[in-house]
Copies of this chain bind each other. A is one copy, B any other.
Amino acid sequence: MNIIFIGAGNVATHLAKALHAKKQHIVQVVSRTTLSAQKLAESVGASWTTTPEEIEKADVYIYAVSDSALQEVIRRNPQKKGLHIHTAGSLPLSVFEGEMERGGVFYPLQTFSKQKPVDFAKIPLFIEANSATDRELLQKLADSLSKKVYAADSQQRQQLHLAAVFACNFTNHLFAVAEQLLNEAKLPFDVLRPLIEETVQKTTTMSPLDAQTGPAIRHDLNVMDKHIAALTAHLLWQDIYRLISESIQTRK
């Protein structure tokens, strides 16, 4: 099976390398950036181009470009046959409609950094396709990489992406807020590590809803008032403190 990658960013790089390691044939890498295209193409033994109009014929086209660029590159791809797959959490399968006959989605739920190697075997993969045949093809491709393959339609995938934003992107930002608050008190972020690990670990044995602790769930207004007063130099964080506390108190 010949595969062409459109995109050479973090997702494309990790996915292409993982497929290459599983003996899949990556024949071409397409990217606006010469350097990225060249680098990824070299590491998987493929040719490369910066021009979508030069995309060759293949069995599968995997698009791993920014959500905003996807529509244009689909339009400019002269190859209308084959299976066209995107990797975006928040875009529906229907983006291929009117351009390609066969569309699919292959969404790896993980945060990728270029430098950091990832173990695909542990990454949940969410697949979607228009036909049973293509669903099967995607299932095989996914099974070759990961032990956790799920079918998810476009609506489920969008909700999944939204949940991931809360649980990961927003969580990371709260870590950044905590880091700055600690810096202001001349304390290292490291002192929070055991507490963070315990917070995550607890969710493996109980629902986060039942694991909730802290001043908001205890309705400890004394402490909450002190905390809000301590945030006068960070008005946005004050609002975040109030809203999340309100949300904690509403849920129970």
Report the minimum CB–CB distance from A179 to chain B (whole Å). Answer: 6
How far, in Å, is A75 (CB) from chain B's closest CB? 17
Q: Does A82 contact B (CB under 8 A)?
A: no
What does DSSP make chain A's interface, helix, strand, loop or mixed?
A: helix
Minimum-distance CB pairs A-B, first 7: A169-B214, A159-B185, A167-B178, A175-B208, A176-B208, A163-B178, A163-B181
Chosen A-B contacts, 29 in total, with CB atoms closer than 8 Å, are A67-B220, A67-B223, A90-B215, A90-B222, A90-B223, A110-B194, A111-B198, A148-B191, A158-B230, A162-B181, A162-B230, A163-B177, A163-B178, A163-B182, A164-B178, A165-B215, A166-B174, A166-B237, A167-B195, A169-B216, A169-B217, A172-B211, A174-B244, A175-B208, A176-B251, A236-B246, A240-B240, A240-B243, A240-B247
Whether A173 and B240, one on each chain, are in contact in the complex, defined by CB atoms closer than 8 angstroms, is: no
Which of B156, B176, B195 has a CB less than 8 Å from the CB of A168? Answer: B195
Q: Are B251 and A244 in contact (CB under 8 A)?
A: no
Any B CB within 8 A of the CB of A43: no
**Chain A: interface residue count, which band?**
35 or more
Answer whether residue A124 sits at the interface, using C-beta atoms and an 8 A cutoff.
Answer: yes
A159–B229 alpha-carbon span in the complex (Å)? 11
Name the B residues within 8 Å of A184 (CB-CB): 159
